Amino acid sequence: MLILVGLGNPGERYAQNRHNVGFMALDAIHARHGFSPWRSRFQGQCAEGLLGRSKCLLLKPMTYMNESGRSVGEAMRFFKLGPDAVTVIHDEIDLAAGKLRVKTGGGMAGHNGLRSIANHIGPDFVRVRVGVGHPGAREQVHGHVLRDFAKADAAWLEPMIEAIAGNAALLARGDGAGFMNKIALALGGEGDKQKKPAEKPARGEQSE
């Protein structure tokens, strides 16, 4: 079983924020794959269904971003799973807007939602890092992630969200490299087969 977590903040005022791209992705997965209706559980909104042949719980913590780990930890303990059964979709300022990487473990890169999850279940969960770009100065980061996506971002955001939903079964079976390749192709990239050999990725990270 997989617990697929999307990070964000609850409420309409945050719905289109960069920080809420995890919620956006889970909503698209939910709609595309015929999951059960959303219901309140584990301090969040959750739904159950299948991704390919894999049983999956979708989980949107309603604790606000900085306390996301309370929700994730409660769900993981209930199902008697380890952190390797948890995959978290979140915004990433250290990736250019429109880029995506899948990584297992590692640091938190200043992301309070990830830090909270690591505090509750440890760091060895899978992260799907959706690039939202860096504003350029550290003091501008808070405002950047809590602002809505710019209109120009729709050119990559909408196809990326659809591609995440359409290829979520690859995540469920642990094929992070295949998932990233599909996302790259959906956004007009060439995919792994056409690219020059890349440098060896850092431990726990798969390259496009």
What domains appear along the chain, each with residue ranges and CATH number?
2-206 (3.40.50.1470)
Tokens found for residue 136: 């350029």
Average pLDDT in the chain: 92
Look at the chain and count its residues: 208
pLDDT digits (tens, 9 = 90+) for 153-198: 999 999 999 999 999 999 999 999 999 999 999 998 766 544 444 4
Tokens found for residue 201: 């990725």
Residue 97 has pLDDT above 70, yes or no: yes
pLDDT digits (tens, 9 = 90+) for 32-65: 999 999 999 999 999 999 999 999 999 999 999 9
134 is annotated as an active-site residue: no
The DSSP line for 138-176 is: GGGHHHHHTSBPPGGGHHHHHHHHHHHHHTHHHHHTT-H
Residue 42 and residue 59 in contact, taking contact as beta carbons nearer than 8 Å: yes
pLDDT digits (tens, 9 = 90+) for 11-41: 999 999 999 999 999 999 999 999 999 999 9
Q: Tell me the pTM.
A: 0.90
Tokens found for residue 68: 């996301």
Tokens found for residue 4: 């697929």
- What CA–CA distance (Å, rounded) separates 151 from 146? 15
